[in-house]
Amino acid sequence: AEMLGIKEIYIEDLREEFVRDFVFPMFRMNAVYEGVYLLGTSIARPLISKRLVEIAHETGADAIAHGATGKGNDQVRFELSAYALDPDIKV
């Protein structure tokens, strides 16, 4: 990170918020994909986007980066969540 010129890094424990605001509501809705698969990974993306946008606002940044490739749906999940929270943010 230092070699790339990164000056700050944020590592946060969001487990409590994730379980309270995302996992428990998902279970209450009986939300499963194709009637079999729990939405474990995909349900985390909106929370990650939320925190990225919050950090951008706290630090005065006008852009965020998620690192997802264009191969799957994660890119869309990150971007739509971020734009819903801040339509002017650059992703």
Report whether pLDDT(6) > 90. no
- Whether residue 81 lies inside any domain: the answer is yes
- For the cut 90, the answer to whether the pLDDT of residue 81 exceeds it is yes
Q: Decide if pLDDT at 40 tops 80.
A: no
Assess if residue 91 is contained within a domain: no
48: its two tokens: 């990650």
**By percentage, how much of the chain surpasses pLDDT 70?**
100
What's 43's domain CATH number? 3.40.50.620
The residue type at 29: M
Choose between 37 and 80: higher pLDDT. Answer: 80
Q: Is 5 left (phi over 0), alpha (psi -120 to 50) or beta?
A: left
Within a domain: residue 90? no
- The parent domain of residue 75 ranges over 2-85
**Token pair listed for 9:** 């890094």
The total of structural domains in the chain comes to 1
Whether the pLDDT of residue 42 is over 80: the answer is: yes
Distance, CA of 31 to CA of 52 (rounded, Å): 25
Kindly state the DSSP code that residue 90 receives in the 8-state scheme: B
